[in-house]
Amino acid sequence: MIMGSNMAECHPVAFRWPLKAKTDHGAVLMHVDPRFTRTSALCDIHVPIRAGTDILFLGAIINHVITSRRWNTDPFFKEYVVNYTNAATLVNPDFKDTEDLNGIYSGLSSDGKAYANESWSYQRGPKPTPAVTEAKTFTDLLLERVPGRPKTDPTLKNPHTVFQIIRKHYHRYTPEMVEKVCGCPKKKFLKVAETLLNNSGRDKTSNITYAVGWTQHTVGVQIIRTAAMLQALLGNIGRPGGGVLALRGHATIQGSTDIATLYQSLPGYLNMPDARKNTETFKDYILTEAVPLSTSYWGNFPKFAVSYFKAQYGDAATKENDYGYDYHPKITADHSHLPMFVHMSEGQIKGFFVMGQNPGVGGQNARFQRKALAKLDWMVVRDFYETETSAFWKNSPEIRSGELKSADIKTEVFFLPAAAVAEMEGTFTNTQRLIQQHEKSTDPPGDARSDLWFTYHLGKRLRKLYASSTKDHDWAIKNLYWNYEPEPSEVADYRIKDEPSAYKVLKEINGYTWEDKKPLPTFANLKEDGSTVSGAWIYTGVISEEGVNNARRRRGDNWISPNWGFAWPANRHIMYNRASADLAGKPWSKKKKLVYWDPKAGTWVAPSGDGIDFLPTKAPGSRGKDNGIGFDWLSGNDPFIMRPDGKSWLFAPFGIVDGPMPAHYEPYESPVANLVYRQQANPVAKTWFIEGNPYHKVADPRYPIVISTYRVTEHHLSGTMSRWLPWLAELMPELFCEISPELAAEKGIKNADYMTIETARGEIQARALVTRRMQPFTINGKTVHEVGLPWHWGWQARAEGDVVNNLSVLVADPNVTIHEGKVFTCNVRAGKRGGAA
Amino acid sequence: MAKGMFVDTSICTGCKACQVACKEWNSLPGDPAHFRRVPDRPYRVAFNFTGDSYDNTVKLSATDWRHVRFIEQFNESRSEARWLFSSDSCKHCNDAGCLNACPVKAIVRTDMGNVFVQQDVCIGCKYCIPACPYGVISFSEKTGTVHKCTLCNDRIHNGLGTACAKACPTGSISFGEVADLRKKADARLARLKGLGFEKANIYGYNEAGGLNVFYLFMDRPSVYGQPEAPVVPQQRLMSSTAVTVASAVVVAAAAMISFRERGEKKKEEVKL
Amino acid sequence: MKVDRRQFIKISAGAVGTAVIAEAEAFGADTGHIQEEAQKVPIKTGRQVPSVCPYCAVGCGQIVTVDDHGKIIDIQGNPDSPISQGTLCPKGAATYQLVNNDLRITKVRYRAPGSDHWEDKSLDWAMDRVAELTRKTRDANFHEFQDMPDGKGGTVKKRVMNTYAIASLGGATMNNEWNYAHQKLFHALGVVYLENQARI
Amino acid sequence: MSFETQAPHWEWYYIAIYFFIGGVSAGAYFIGSLLELLGSDKHRQISRTAYYLAFPLICVTPVLLIADLGRPERFWHLFFYTKEGIPYMNFTSPLSVGTWALLVFGGMSLLSFLNNLIIDGRLKSPALEGLFRHVPHKVYAVIGSFFGFFVAGYTGVLLNITARPLWASTDPLIGSLFIASAASTGAAAIALVMAWQKISSRDAIKEVVVFDRVAMVFELALIAAMIVVAGRYSAPLSKGLYGLIFWGGTVVIGILLPLGLYWYGRRPGAAGVSLTALAAVLVLFGGAMLRIAIVQAGQLQ
């Protein structure tokens, strides 16, 4: 099932594989999407639903599955769900569901802005006797604090079991409700639910694939969780052909999440020190971050964290100074993209680096974002072409309309040309966590330089400027371990001789022993005593020994291809793959064999060559140590080793800020009221009530039409990498708006003519593409129209069009601050903007 | 043996990778007709939006040797909903109208069966253009000659497949020996028929003496803009010539009669 | 669009190739015009370098072909890649034009405050200036401590070691190595507005 | 939008006009040679006029033809296959065969032209005179006449042997139509020149006109047949600019009107020569319009 993704259009080559499954192996492809897209065209079933109703649709499948005969009689489901998920775990009796509180969970603060999650916690047995009496190491600190084991009821009968809570929570998510709220015929919904159920089990697995169609919502995280819950209930996780696949958008968007240039995260998914929490000292930091997770593989957190800080400051990082922790910045609030621009518009941000991104087109409420740029003192842009962002002071719509004047904009702008991928060496991590090396083929032209060159040489200059400082706050930059000078052999063939060594950086990411600089083959080698460095522990193994870069391996095969690149962690391609075997460690079926226990060898084996995402010697059925941490605590039947109970979470006792389970909320801007609960939208969604960012009311008569933004195959995101290319510009030359003939007739809009789309944030014009691929929905008896706009265009380049994000608004998911770009409201009319015909 | 391509439109996603891959390998620019000058821009800007589904390049041209068609088949209630795609190019006919029409032997068939325009021979008379029943071959003002798909002549003579087939993400375009491709096509057609796609058909086994680039269509060929019964124009050459000669005889006879009054009788007709 | 050198070479090469004909055809009267390729047709060749597609996150393999002068003459799918098996989407197939494009900027450009045009500057000058501005802005806006809510309605002074005056945004099309080095440097500077497309 | 075939984008002022002038030249030459073969003094005047017309006109045509080529400097590829350096003709290509025919016809019309210059005493070259004495001019008149028909007709066959809807659907009639038009316009051209020169006998002009009338009636019949045969594909000829050119320019002004004028001029006491001259001009105009209409309408999308 493809949902929240237009796979054939946005990931055409990945779509090769599901299509192969369809043509060669008879797989059924289903596409659930408001529009009939090129993906729908190739799928067996297309199910149109109103944008933003995914949780209801998926929740109804959950309800259908757990009340079905097959699910309740086939022993496979019970074995998988009782043992590999937290269905049997008992939840705090204080917990109140949305059914009890009409759309909110227990724990909502009095101002309604945040949840306290104490009532969502597990019921636990008594705390074990600690394995250590005196804490000498960080690990000892964790051993002192191991909690009691969660209580369970394997019969799933107890009303406090996660399973019973879920059953109750989703019992009103019925096919009738789907028809009423999603606008999708009951018959089509049932077809999808039945197909998923019938194609899951011992012999068969089903996969759910999504992309930003799910993430860009005020309930984005919860939509994905619903899918994960469904897959866990269907026994589709950790098994070949199963899972929930995220299709990500950029070449190494996965890499830049793993090795985060994201405000809240350090490389390897260590949380950024956060002044809002108790992270004052390094010990505080470790206790705050690691204690709740110590009974998972995160029990090794101290080793990862020390190795990270050691990598930052090298010799200057010592046990005595907590490895330089005190000099590391702490976050104090949400510093993500949207707040960044809010604060930029307020003048808080003076200097801005924009590297290969184009917020002038791609940013939500792009007009707001462009105007914020004008408040900067200086801005550095690195890109291939003169992006809209880099030219905001020159010819943006605001300059053309006279709203801003070039002469008044004091921003000093630097455009530094960037090297193309083919012109530099480095690694990308693809959407399947696969790290692949691309080689340098030639020098970039003129002054163009690699991004690494820029950052490295900026760092060198800054270190020179701060070399003589003795101030505390310059300690970090002064003591930064910053040596990626190339070996002569690395630059011998090239004009640019000061290109830093990407290999040395990757080696540091991988990790090595500080003393003799020997690369570490696995993260199991990391130490908490400062003897190892590792920039991002999850990547350890990519350089398994000096000179051996596993991202460079290029021997594929017909299945897992373990010798092509390197899949973090530890070359494991299918995560949690211990779940591909039953309780006894035997494959669920011959057809779905992946990882299983070899009793003779006393080890788990994977003939496909996939990395085993489990302790290889931990026998199935073996009990965990109640007072241990990490693998010691986990039993032989706990495949989900990154969860502190080793189970897949149907119910999230913590970690998600807007509820332990997903509930259907309407999009922040919606033409209809929530028909499921009294609570209209996500109560804790992030909003910015500021000038230039007006919101539409629910069922606002001025903006009755649902709008969705998306991409097409022929262009890439904000178009910087596609609209300048004649080959791509001519394939999709101009911004267009997809609109149903029904709505077009109502508004007098003709195909290929100009039409105007309007929100309280702005109005834009687009060519109308009147097509029956768009359709009106009947929601609770009322007709709701939907229009769609691909957002690739801007006022520069060989293919021009208005900026679609001038329409969108700053509103975001509370967990990750991803904006709601997939659904908001608007109005449309015939003719060009400004009233011209 | 003849090389060719099989285009299985049932698995085409309309992504247009073939169009770009073709341009990349053959160094074809963006079609100049798709771009125009815009005030304050030092470069030309594309303006070829058509509103015809996702098809903006409309036809094959001297710079577009491939073209993906988009056919939307939806009824009002959307109970019938189908979006068909098909990637079109030169079909490398076994009886090629363009080759037959070329007065200078610029258009030749190579040992691999592909119909190839020799750019250094072509004089740009453009007669091959209307001679193609598929509207494939096109004239370039820039080179003064005609251009079309070469079946990647350079690649196939170096043991490679065509650029479009190589790029095609779903394998909708496959390159190989025509005989092998036909086997593959027959199998695929049988499978689709078995699944209930009654209208599925293979286009190109018999048309124009057999097409080395042939198609599996999900609907009638005309739905995809292909002639249902293409005629290679030169098949009519003899009849057309005969009628014209006959007319010449008629005119000559008429002249004889007109001028006969005081003329001597001569058997002029016989000589003609 | 200009006919570039590559195109010129290729067109002439193709022509030369087919010029070699081992055909002894009678004058006229043929409809086949079959030409035997007695000699192989020349093809674009050069040093082949394995690469990865710069567009989406599927990670299709690419092969970059470079001629003797270090010019990229071709970028195609890598048939060895188990992900893509030599295929590419339209964007991936257009990578050559992303690299070789007459509108690609290869010189440093500078816009002075209040100006309405770009000026050309040297790379060295720009790097020095950016470093200087970074230092100034940072030093003028650095916080060692900040009052934070103590959870009981009051505030407590906490060590934060950061600056809010500098922000960094992008890019998920840059190498892992850059991401690492960049977060390392910017964390050392105390930058917390450190963001990436990866959020979107 | 679906495009089954593409238009060659031939320019009317090159290709259609070439078709027209080639037709006039060929038609005139044919009449000239026929009357020469029939041989009487009165006809001698006609055939001399015809020969003097045919050659200069046919000289114009290669210029037009070459001007429309994308690579005019390569026009000689039409006769030589450069890769082998041997003469070349493609029998399946009317364009190829027609070009050769044009070459032969050009040669024959040159000979006839020179021969007439010698006979008229306007060219005094003993060498040439000797040459022409040895080759009976009737031989090349017959050859020229044959290829003249070819030049007139192949242009139509060339259009028929395409996949363009209008041209293909009217197969096999355009060749015949162009031959009829060539004969008619050739005759009109002769009549016009003879009327202009005012040295010819009115009878001679009258005979040419009689033939022209026959040719025009034949042409009319062919047009009718063509419209019927083409059915719905004849639409481009009945709509818009080319509809006007075809029905107005060719049928009304170029055929019906001159037929009427000829008919009227037949009566004793009518304005005679000048009326005939007017009619001839209209016929020529109609012939040009016919080529333009058919060549251009066939290229409409």
Smallest Cα distance from A154 to chain C, Å: 39
Contacts of A94 (CB under 8 A, 6+ apart): A106, A118, A119
Cβ distance of D93 and B103 shorter than 8 Å: yes
Does one domain contain both B104 and B143? yes
- A68 with A9, same domain? yes
Which of D93, D146, D175 is closest, CB to CB, to B272?
Answer: D146
Neighbours of C80 (CB within 10 A): 15
Range of the domain at B264: 234-271
CA C35/CA C19 separation, integer angstroms: 9
Contact call for residues C41 and C14 (beta carbons, < 8 A):
yes
The 10s digit of each residue's pLDDT in C146-161 is 999 988 889 999 999 9
Last residue of a domain, one of A360, A389, A418: A418
Does the pLDDT value for residue D129 go beyond 80?
yes
A775 pLDDT more than 80? yes
Q: How much is the mean pLDDT over chain A?
A: 97
For residues B171 and B249, state if they share a domain: no
pLDDT of residue B139: 96
A637-657 burial code (b ≥16 CB/10 A, e <16): bbbbbebbbbbbbbbbbeebe
**Distance in Å, alpha carbon of D193 to nearest chain B alpha carbon:** 18
Work out the average pLDDT over A742-753: 98
Neighbours of A, requiring at least 3 CB pairs below 8 Å, are B, C
Tell me what pLDDT residue D199 has: 64
What ipTM describes this predicted complex? 0.94
Q: Count B/D contacts: CB-CB distance under 8 Å.
A: 241
What is the percent of chain B with per-residue pLDDT over 90, rounded to a whole number? 90
Say whether pLDDT at A648 is over 60: yes
Task: Give partners of D (≥3 CB pairs < 8 A).
Answer: B, C
Residue B1's Cβ-count burial label (10 Å; 0-12, 13-18, 19+) is exposed
Nearest Cα of chain D lies from the Cα of C43 at a distance, in angstroms, of 21
Q: Which residues pair with C21 in a beta bridge?
A: C37
Domains within chain C, CATH numbers bracketed: 5-19+40-99 (2.20.25.90), 105-136 (no CATH), 141-200 (no CATH)
Residue A657 domain flag: no
The answer to whether A164 and A155 are in contact (CB under 8 A) is no
Q: Is residue A708 within 8 Å of residue A34, measured between CB atoms? A: yes
Please determine, for residue A670, whether its predicted confidence score (pLDDT) is greater than 80.
yes
pTM score, whole prediction:
0.94
What is the pLDDT averaged over residues A280-286? Answer: 97
Q: What is the pLDDT of residue D139?
A: 86
pLDDT of residue D40: 67
Domain that holds residue A498: 423-552
Same domain, A66 and A164: yes
Instruction: Kindly compute the dihedral angle of the four CA atoms of residues A99, A105, A109, A111, in this order, to the nearest 10 degrees.
Output: -50
Tell me: pLDDT of A835 over 70: no
Task: Cis check for the bond before B29: say yes or no (omega within 30 of 0).
Answer: no
Whether residue A299 is found in the same domain as residue A350: no
* Residue-level pLDDT at D273: 74
pLDDT in tens, B59-82: 999 999 999 999 999 999 999 999
pLDDT(D217) > 70: yes
pLDDT in tens, C48-59: 999 999 999 999
For residue B81, the model assigns a pLDDT of: 96
- The pLDDT of residue C73 is 96
Q: Does D238 touch chain C (CB under 8 A)?
A: no
* Cβ proximity of A444 and A488 under 8 Å: no
CATH architecture group of domain D12-297? Up-down Bundle (1.20)
User: Percent of chain B scored above 70 by pLDDT?
Assistant: 96
Determine how many CB atoms are found less than 10 A away from the CB of residue A378: 22
Q: Residue A153: inside a domain, yes or no?
A: no
Please report whether residue A670 resides in a domain. Answer: no
Establish if A565 belongs to a structural domain.
Answer: no
Query: ∠ CA B194-B195-B201 to the nearest 5 degrees?
Result: 70
Render pLDDT for D245-299 as a digit per residue (tens, 0 to 9): 999 999 999 999 999 988 887 666 555 678 888 999 999 999 999 999 999 999 9
Residues A404 and A536 in one domain: no
Same-domain pairing of B62 and B140: yes
Say if CB A285 and CB A331 are below 8 A apart: no
| CB distance A493 to A443 below 8 Å | no
D86 touches chain C (CB under 8 A): yes
Give the CA count within 13 Å in the CB-facing half-sphere of A372.
30
- Does B101 contact D161 at a Cβ distance shorter than 8 Å? yes
- Report pLDDT digits (tens) over A453-490: 999 999 999 999 999 999 999 999 999 999 999 999 99
The predicted-structure confidence for C121-145, as pLDDT tens digits, reads as follows 999 999 999 999 999 999 999 999 9
Has residue C26 got a pLDDT over 50?
no
B-to-C residue pairs, Cβ atoms closer than 8 angstroms? 117
Number of folded domains in chain B? 2
Any CB–CB contact under 8 A between D95 and chain C? no
Identify the pLDDT of residue B261.
Answer: 57
With vertex at residue D63, the alpha carbon angle to CA D62 and CA D66, rounded to the nearest 5 degrees, is 80
With 60 as the cut, is the pLDDT of residue D17 above it?
yes
Among C105, C142, C181, whose Cβ lies nearest the Cβ of A456?
C181
Question: What CATH number is attached to the domain comprising B26?
Answer: 3.30.70.20
* Distance separating alpha carbons of residues D80 and A29, to the nearest angstrom: 59
Q: CATH no. for residue A9?
A: 3.40.228.10
C-alpha torsion angle, residues D12, D16, D18, D21 (rounded to 10): -120
Closest partner CB to A816 (pick from C56, C174, C199) = C199
For the segment A529-581, what is each residue's pLDDT rounded down to a tens digit? 999 999 999 999 999 999 999 999 999 999 999 999 999 999 999 999 999 99
User: What is the reported pLDDT for D38?
Assistant: 79
CA–CA min distance B269, chain A (Å): 60
Task: Specify if A660 maps to a domain.
Answer: no
A54 is a domain residue: yes
Same-domain pairing of B117 and B244: no
Does some domain include residue A84?
Answer: yes
* A27 and A107 part of one domain: yes
Q: How many distinct structural domains can be found in chain A?
A: 6
pLDDT tens profile B5-22: 999 999 999 999 999 999
Give contacts of D1 with chain B, Cβ < 8 Å.
Answer: 50, 52, 55, 58-59
Band (B193; pLDDT cuts 50, 70, 90): very high
More confident position, C2 or A372: A372
Same domain for A96 and A184?
yes
pLDDT higher than 70, residue A728: yes
